Amino acid sequence: MGPRGPIEWAVPGAGTPIRILPPLLVNQIAAGEVVERPASVVRELIDNALDAGATRVVVELEAGGIELVRVSDDGAGIGADQLELALSPHATSKIERTEDLDRISTLGFRGEALASIASVARVRIRSRTPEADGASRIDAHGSRIGPVRPDSGPVGTQVSVRNLFFNTPARRKFLRTPRTEEGHCVEAVRNLAMGRPGVGFALSADGRGVLDLPVGQSPAQRVLAVLGEELGEQMLVVNADEFDDARGMALWGMVGRPALARATNKAQHILLNGRPIRDRTIQHALREAYRGLIEPGRYPTAVLMLEMSPGGVDVNVHPAKAEVRFRDQSLVHTIVLRAVREALQGADLTTGFDPGRSGFAPRSPTAVLPGGGGVAPGGSIPAQRVVDAVRSIAPVGGELSYETLRAALEPIGRGAAPSGADAPDSPGSPPEPGRIEPKPEPGLEAPFPERGVLQVHNSYVVTQDEQGVVIVDQHALHERVMFEMLRARLDRGDLESQRLITPAVVEGTAGQIDRLAELEPLLGRLGIRVEPMGPGSLGVQAFPTILFDRGVDPVAFVRELLDAADRDDFTPGAEQTLHEVLDMMACKAAVKAGDRLTDPELEALLVLRERVERSSNCPHGRPTSIRLTIPQIERLFGRT
């Protein structure tokens, strides 16, 4: 209510009779759904060109398409006797019966695009069929459609759209700057061009060339031509073929390595039977495939081209045809998720060193090895024996179960004790006078003598591979190892817990105490038991054994968990929430920056890097390893 009293709104339709709207107003209402901006015009006209069998499409823009959008093609053309009908609302050659809506195989089908565009712009269509001796043209604007006139021109169709929204100034004033509108037009052409790699596309804006894609490119050539050839080494090919005439889907695409993740999902291009679409099911499958490889809030780069029977999808659910409805969403989600995961699992995702970058993503919060942790204070066991044990129990390509991981890591950490000649000297102590270094037992020489391992500042592990030097963040890598071990253990049941002799008291808010019952199923899976102890306090009765072994403070951990549960997006039964909590546990249980590791521990950690899934990134999505290749080293030293 304002200072002058309530505002009284007039109701225009109250008490007036129902009437049929004039054709121009009907078309302008339709244009409000179909024609949002110049890019909408570009998309609709290119759809028609591709449906006409064009092998080359040329787009010309002036003032970002606000003053002119011209699309020329070499398709089948429109006969002179059909030109006027093409501008009529809901006139189309692409469907005839209601049943056709269940198997639409063309990009356009509603027959309202040209009529809607002509109602809010000045349109000229010039077209010629292969059988005609010459071309014909027709002009239209608003409600006026001129006569069909003879003209000259090649086989195909050219549609010129001038002065968009000239008769609806309220719509026109909401358009952005010509530069912004041009960007939207370019993006529309790029999306359509990726879906039709065999068709040539050219785009110019105000006389300058913006895009020129030749005819007959392969899908991979077209994707890189659109996204940038420099991304070639950063993109992975995705393939899946579960298609038949009745159901299923075939998938081909290219997805970016985790380093190509962006702050928005604009770098994700999804095409269904050549049609650019937006689909939450596929976007969710992409997020799940990259879970733990990129930081939360970032989106992978991806181009996914899906093919399926027209009967398996309903494209008639969005005025601009940007969204679809799959008959079997779970099947689509499963195929995309599995195909992208397989592509990522089969690739070396180690982050490359880029001298041009301002820096790498910050390491995850400091938060080790199950059955042990820290470092053996003075003792160890023969390094190669540990490495061989890890390699034998965690074979390449074999699935790592919880028991496998735990057994592989069991020799590492505080369980080792000094033993004769195998016990290393304490740091910095001089060798005993006259001491003779014992010869190693056969087969127990220094670990990986051909590779070499060095711990730097008790935080980073430096080693080498066939490509160059690899620098590993010991905390980030071990956090990933711990996360995968915890997840594997949960697949078999609840985590093991240890009961506290005396409950650890955690201060909690009234809301957290009230929500405790909702959290109990999640806490039970994690091996945590918490009970109210009085006003404003909770008692931790049991705690996960693995966190006990690592000396994690139950009070601090439960306090952090309760604070996280206060967030609106924290849903106890959701898989994403479980992963978040497992990440918290892995972070607390992992070796920390500053922990000095023995040779066996360093070597075992590197072996697990080769065995554990997604070891290239910690659960937060940050890289665990960075590679400096030999050519990069040679350039840094001025050798090349």
Q: End-to-end alpha-carbon separation of the chain, Å? A: 75
Identity of the amino acid at 165: F
**360: pLDDT confidence band, cut at 50, 70 and 90?**
very low
- pLDDT at 285 > cutoff 50: yes
Spatial distance between the Cα atoms of 512 and 572, rounded to a whole number of angstroms: 13
CB 340 within 8 A of CB 347: no
- pLDDT at 98 > cutoff 90: no
What does each C-alpha distance from 579 to 280, 299, 545 come to in angstroms?
Answer: 21, 18, 19
For residue 165, tell me if it sits in a domain. Answer: yes
Which residues have C-beta within 8 Å of that of residue 246, sequence separation ≥ 6?
A: 309, 311
Among residues 296, 331, 347, the one where a domain terminates is: 347
Q: Which of 611, 609, 599, 596 is nearest to 444 (CA)?
A: 599
Percent of the chain with pLDDT over 70: 77
For residue 372, tell me if it sits in a domain. Answer: no
User: Which secondary-structure segment (H or E) carries 164?
Assistant: none
Least reliable range by pLDDT among 135-149, 345-359, 492-506: 345-359
Identity of the amino acid at 478: H
- pLDDT at 358 > cutoff 70: no
pLDDT score recorded for residue 103 = 65
Mean pLDDT within 274-302: 89
Q: Which residue has the higher pLDDT, 439 or 625?
A: 625
User: According to DSSP H, which parts of 538-617 are helical?
Assistant: 545-549, 554-565, 575-589, 599-611
Among residues 180, 195, 213, the one where a domain terminates is: 213
What range does the domain containing 174 cover?
23-213
Same domain, 197 and 274: no
Q: Which residue has the higher pLDDT, 3 or 65?
A: 65
**225: pLDDT confidence band, cut at 50, 70 and 90?**
very high
Buried residues in 212-245 as b, exposed as e (16+ CB within 10 A): ebeeebebbebbbbbbeeeeeebbbebebeebee
Percent of the chain with pLDDT over 90: 36
Same domain, 335 and 238: yes
User: According to DSSP H, which parts of 308-355 are helical?
Assistant: 329-345
For residue 366, tell me if it sits in a domain. Answer: no
Mean pLDDT within 109-124: 84
pLDDT score recorded for residue 108 = 65
pLDDT score recorded for residue 435 = 31
Same domain, 107 and 192: yes
- pLDDT at 440 > cutoff 60: no
Q: Which CATH number belongs to the domain containing residue 149 in this structure?
A: 3.30.565.10
Least reliable range by pLDDT among 33-47, 92-106, 144-158: 92-106
Same domain, 187 and 288: no
Same domain, 182 and 307: no
Mean pLDDT within 178-201: 95
pLDDT score recorded for residue 282 = 94
CB 68 within 8 A of CB 88: no
DSSP 524-544: HHTT-EEEEEETTEEEEEEEE
* Percent helix / strand / coil, the chain, rounded to 5: 35, 20, 40
pLDDT score recorded for residue 61 = 98
Which residues have C-beta within 8 Å of that of residue 402, sequence separation ≥ 6?
A: 485, 488, 489, 491, 492
Same domain, 44 and 185: yes
Spatial distance between the Cα atoms of 628 and 605, rounded to a whole number of angstroms: 20
**354: pLDDT confidence band, cut at 50, 70 and 90?**
low
What does each C-alpha distance from 638 to 629, 631, 634 come to in angstroms?
Answer: 14, 10, 6
CB 91 within 8 A of CB 85: yes
For residue 425, tell me if it sits in a domain. Answer: no
Angle (CA) 118-119-123 rounded to 5° is 20
For residue 582, tell me if it sits in a domain. Answer: yes
Tell me the backbone φ, ψ of residue 269, rounded to 5 degrees.
Answer: -120, 115
pLDDT score recorded for residue 514 = 81
Same domain, 88 and 192: yes
Identity of the amino acid at 385: R
Beta strands in 129-164 (DSSP E): 135-141, 144-145, 149-151, 156-162
> How confident is the prediction for the chain on average, in pLDDT?
80
Q: Which of 316, 393, 350, 290 is nearest to 604 (CA)?
A: 393
pLDDT score recorded for residue 15 = 61
- pLDDT at 373 > cutoff 60: no
Among residues 185, 213, 241, the one where a domain terminates is: 213
pLDDT score recorded for residue 425 = 38
| Cα torsion 346, 348, 354, 359: sign | positive
pLDDT score recorded for residue 96 = 63
Q: Which CATH number belongs to the domain containing residue 537 in this structure?
A: 3.30.1370.100
Same domain, 226 and 179: no
- pLDDT at 95 > cutoff 90: no
User: According to DSSP H, which parts of 10-82 are helical?
Assistant: 23-34, 38-51
Mean pLDDT within 104-131: 85
CB 575 within 8 A of CB 426: no
- pLDDT at 441 > cutoff 80: no
Q: Which residue has the higher pLDDT, 297 or 252?
A: 252
Q: What is the pTM of this model?
A: 0.68
For residue 531, tell me if it sits in a domain. Answer: yes
Q: Which stretch, 186-200, 599-613, 618-632, has highest mean pLDDT?
A: 186-200
Which residues have C-beta within 8 Å of that of residue 257, sequence separation ≥ 6?
A: 234, 235, 236, 347, 349
What does each C-alpha distance from 387 to 471, 504, 601 come to in angstroms?
Answer: 19, 39, 9
> pLDDT tens digit string along 19-62?
777 777 776 666 666 788 999 999 999 999 999 999 999 999 99
> pLDDT tens digit string along 488-514?
888 888 888 899 988 999 988 888 888
Same domain, 131 and 240: no
Same domain, 76 and 180: yes
pLDDT score recorded for residue 609 = 87
**411: pLDDT confidence band, cut at 50, 70 and 90?**
very low
For residue 333, tell me if it sits in a domain. Answer: yes
Q: Which of 87, 90, 142 is nearest to 120 (CA)?
A: 142
Q: Which CATH number belongs to the domain containing residue 324 in this structure?
A: 3.30.230.10
- pLDDT at 531 > cutoff 60: yes
- CA 574 to mean position of chain CA atoms: 20
Spatial distance between the Cα atoms of 317 and 188, rounded to a whole number of angstroms: 20
pLDDT score recorded for residue 393 = 47
Structure tokens at 295: 């930081």
**427: pLDDT confidence band, cut at 50, 70 and 90?**
very low
For residue 560, tell me if it sits in a domain. Answer: yes
Return the bridge partners of 464, or none: 469
pLDDT score recorded for residue 572 = 84
pLDDT score recorded for residue 125 = 96
Least reliable range by pLDDT among 50-64, 73-87, 583-597: 583-597
User: According to DSSP H, which parts of 324-395 are helical?
Assistant: 329-345, 383-393
| Number of domains into which the chain is organized | 3
| 423 burial via Cβ count (<10 Å: 0-12, 13-18, 19+) | middle
Same domain, 144 and 273: no
pLDDT score recorded for residue 595 = 86
Return the bridge partners of 625, or none: 472
Same domain, 29 and 164: yes
CB 287 within 8 A of CB 302: no
Q: Which stretch, 42-56, 545-559, 561-575, 588-602, has highest mean pLDDT?
A: 42-56
